[in-house]
Amino acid sequence: MNSGAVAGGLAILLGYMGFTFWQTAMTRRWAWLRSVRVISNLAVLSAAVYALLTIGDSPAFGRALPWARTCAQFLWAYLVIRLFDAVLFDSAVGRRHGVCVPRLLRDIIRWLAAFLLLLVILRVNLGINLTPLVATSAALTFVLGFALQDVLGNLFAGIAINFENPFSIGDYVSMDGHDGKVDNMNWRATRILTYNNEYVTVPNSVVAKGTFLNYSQPQLPKGRSFFISIGYEVRPNRVKAVLREALDAVPEVLGDPPPRIWLIEFAEHAISYRVKFWVRRFDDGYDAEDRVKSQVWYHLNRNGITIPYPRRTVQMVAAEEASALQSRHSQRAKNLLQRVPLFAGLGDERLSTLAAEASAVFYAAGEPLVRQGDTGDSLYLIQQGVADVSLAQADGPETTVARLAQGDFFGEMSLLTGEPRGATVRAAEDRLVLVIRKEHLGPMLVENPVIAESLAKAMERRQAENLAKIATTRMVTEEERNEASFGAILKRVKGFFGLR
């Protein structure tokens, strides 16, 4: 090789290195160039080899020159096909028109174009004509068809699936016994990312022959349902009302379409109900169902409704033991009630009666016990856990103003006068509360109206404390002072309980 060839080879090498650095810089700016980076390197390298052979003077180079030219031309032609594929399908069709062309279809078009160009290049440069061999060799066709029957089956199944387009990448599906999201699809198989972050590869032929579910299409609200059994002692209409309250407490549950509840069966041990609700997206379903079922438990528990599972349990509790359990509950409730200044004038006997009738109920974390503006007739006394008190402003969101802990109480105005709730109280964690309702206190006031005066005096002191706190932030109006007076409170208490 002469000195000119050596110099030319060095120039080609430096040019190839410069092209490599330029390509690296450009792929950072244009992400679509990454898909053609490998083939562009091969094309430029083959062109460099062809140029080096052209300037060389060795006979061996001359014999290799047609093959190098053929390789270079094919690689450059294939690079043009890849660039056309990226510009047309990714930029023009994908970004501008929002249409996602299946990758398998793009691969098939690219392969067919490359194969036809290879036949032309071989014929022009080397005089090799493969067309008769491809068209007339029945034996070769039989051998290849028999050897590749599974591969061809998957290929044609993939083509059919892409034309029919029953699912897209990113859809949630159930396929061949596996649930998950479609992660990729090529000429041979469809890959699913399961909910456990595991890849499952399903051959296209299995997909085409089997039955699968597409949870993501059409883009409509997705239904979720479950069954629950309730004892015969509870009226069906009451059960449905409590279940609707539980559904209303979950934000993910849509109001349109509305949730539905059906009585399904009168079974051996209980009545079976089916609960159906709707969520906006399929991937919201599992979290929503968890929250719905949790709210169902809390709402049923608060309403004294049990879920009798089909089991056989024989439990014998002696009368003395049952009495002891009730006695412990009443004593705990009485200890709490003694800490409430409102009931200081009831006396020990009436306090014990009130403690025995009070009900202890559970609330879930984040669940509101009362909402600002709602009507009510009950007082809440916290036995376990904590709760946040928040106020909603007319022109802003709710603001947390206080936190209640064990022994604190709220709702005394609603209990005594039926006034709307003045704030929203929401459980900060799972908690147990003692509830005193109007029907628990009413018989005592009817029997002895003097108790109403005692309660009104205690309520007057409570209201005075509240007005003092308000006065630190703004001026208290005369109307507010009048409403907090003993006479006004007593009048509202008597009117609420129907006393003279």
Delimiting residues of CATH 2.30.30.60 domain(s) in the chain: 166-214
Q: For residue 347, what pLDDT is reported? A: 79
Instruction: Decide which of 3.40.50.740, 2.30.110.10, 3.40.50.10790, 3.30.70.100 is the CATH code for 222-302.
Output: 3.30.70.100
Q: What kind of fold does domain 319-497 have according to CATH?
A: Jelly Rolls (2.60.120)
Beta bridge partners of 404: 387
* Class for the domain spanning 166-214: mainly beta
Tell me the per-residue pLDDT of 295-316, one tens digit each, with 9 for 90 and over: 999 999 988 898 886 555 555 5
How high is the pLDDT of residue 402? 83
CATH 2.60.120.10 domain extents, the chain? 319-497
Q: Which pLDDT score, from 0 to 100, does residue 97 have?
A: 47
Q: What is the pLDDT of residue 18?
A: 64
For residue 213, which phi and psi values (nearest 5 degrees)? -110, 135
The pLDDT value given to residue 30: 57
Could you report the per-residue pLDDT of 145-204, keeping only the tens digit for each?
Answer: 555 566 666 666 776 776 667 787 888 888 888 888 888 877 678 888 988 888 888 888
**pLDDT at residue 289 in the model:** 93
* pTM reported for the whole predicted model: 0.57
Range(s) within the chain of domains with CATH label 3.30.70.100: 222-302
pLDDT, position 245: 92
In which residue ranges of the chain is pLDDT below 70?
1-45, 48-65, 89-105, 129-156, 159, 162-164, 187, 309-326, 394-396
